[in-house]
Amino acid sequence: MRFRVTVSDMQVCPLDFRYGREVMKQVFDEEKRLQYMLDVEAALARAHAKVGNISAENAKMISEKANTKTVKIERVWEIEKSTNHDIMAMVKALTEQSGTAGDFVHLGATSNDIVDTVMAIALKNALQIIEDDMIVLQNSIAELAEKHRDSVMVGRTHGQFAVPLTFGMKMAVYAREMQRHLDRLREARPRICVGKMSGAVGTGAALGPHALEIQKIVMEELGLGTEEASLQLVGRDRYVEYMSLLANISCSLEKFAVEIRNLQRSEIGEVAEAFDREKQVGSSTMAHKQNPITCENVCSLAKVVRGFMIPTYENVPLWHERDLTNSAAERFTIPHASILTDDMIVKMSKVFSNLAVFPDKMLANIETSRGLIMAEAVMMALVRKGMGRQDAHEVMRRISLKAADTGTHLRDQMLSDETITKLFKPKEIDALLDPKNYTGKAGEIVDRTLKDVR
C-alpha cells in the first residue's frame, strides 16, 4: 500500500516544485494513470463484446462508467487501503459504478495486462512530447549553424589549440547528433509502445478461445503494438531501450552544455548564456558574476537520468514468469527520467535560441596562438610543393617549437627559415597563416546539414 499525501502536506521530490514541465508531468499523473487504466478496462470489455463473450450492452455500460468523473481516485485509494492492491482497487471501484455489467469488469485479465498496457500508453505520449521537444531544439541549433556558417574559431583538442573550424560547423555537428536521436526515437517507438492482454502467464487461458483476437482488438483500439509472446509482463528489454534512449539524449545535452560552459569561461569568452541584466543575480556575494546556470543545471540533471539505467537493467532478470521486484523501481525511474529529459531538452532549446556568440572574440583568441594553429596548413602546403609529409612535419615541428619557446609569431620564424623562404614568398606565407583560408569544407558541411535536417 502506498502512503499518499497532498501537496500541502509535504514536498520531498524536487519534481513536485522545482523541475519539469506540467505537460510531461501530466503523462504520469496519478489521476491520468487511473484514466489510462479505465481506458484499458473499457477497451477490454468492448473486445469481449466483439468476439461474443459479453453483450454489447454490458460493454457499453462499462465504457460509459470508465472515467475519472465517475470512478473517483479518492475511492480507489480508499479501497486500496484494505486490498493493498492498486489494480484490484481500481477494478472494484469501476465494478461499483457499472451495475450488473460490473460482473464483467477485468474479465480474463491479470493486473499486469493493465499495468503494462497503461505504461505503453504513457510511453507513447511521452515519446511524442520528447520528439516535439527535440525538433524545436534541433531547429534552434540549425539557426545558429546558418547564422555562424563562416564564423571562424579555433578548434580545441585535449583542451589545447588545434586548427581552425567555424562555429557554424560545430553547431552542424550538434544538429546531426539530434537528428540521430530523432531517428532512434522513431525507430524504437514501435518496439517501446507495446501492451499485452494475455492473462496470468501469457497463455490467454482466462480470456477463452478468442484470446489472441481480444488482445489484438484492445491494442489496435489503444494505438499500441502487441506483445505477441509474453509471460506475465511486457518484456523489460523494451523499457531498457526507452531508458537508454533518454540516457543517450541526456549525454548529448550534457555535451552541448559542457561546451557552452567552457566557451563561456572568462579567459575564453566566445559564447554566453543569456543573462537578464535587469533582475538576474549571478552570485549572492560576487556582484559581477554572470554564470551559465542553465547549462550547469542540465549537466546536473543528465547525471540523474543516466543513474536510472542501473535499476532499469536490474528490472530485466525477474523470477520465472515474474515477481514484483521491478514494480517499485519503475514507479521512480520511468516517470522521473521522462520528466527530467523533457525539462533538459526544453532548457537547452532556450539556451541555444538566446545564445550570445562573439565572433570577434573567437578571432582574438586565434591571434593569441601567434600563428601556431596554422602549422598544419603550412605543412600541407610544403607537401604540395613536393616535400615528403614526414619531412614537412619535422620542419614545422622545429619552427613551431622555436616560436613557442621564444614567444614570437610563427610568421617571423618562417621568414627567418631558409627552407620556408625558398618555397614561399611573404604574401604566400600571410595567406597560409590566415585561419579563414583553412576551414576546409566547413561551409559545405553546414549547408548539407541544414538541407538534411530542415
Active site residue 283: yes
Closest listed residue to residue 349, CA positions, set 262, 218, 256: 256
What is the secondary structure of 379-402 as a DSSP string?
Answer: HHHHHHTT--HHHHHHHHHHHHHH
| Active-site residue, selected from the candidate residues 8, 82, 111, 283 | 283
User: CA separation (Å) from 301 to 164, 280, 297?
Assistant: 32, 22, 6
Q: Which residue, 86, 109, 320, is CA-closest to 211?
A: 109
Is the CB of residue 324 less than 8 Å from the CB of residue 113?
A: no
Nearest to residue 103, comparing CAs of 40, 150, 164, 55?
A: 55
Q: How far apart are CA 364 and CA 346, in angstroms?
A: 32
Q: How far is CA 278 from CA 4, 227, 275, 294, 297, in A?
A: 42, 55, 9, 18, 22
**Among the options 8, 55, 63, 158, which is catalytic?**
158
CA distance between the termini of the chain: 49
Helix axes 86-97, 73-83, angle to 10 degrees: 130
Name the grid cell of 165.
Answer: 573550424
Q: Please give the positions annotated as active site.
A: 158, 283
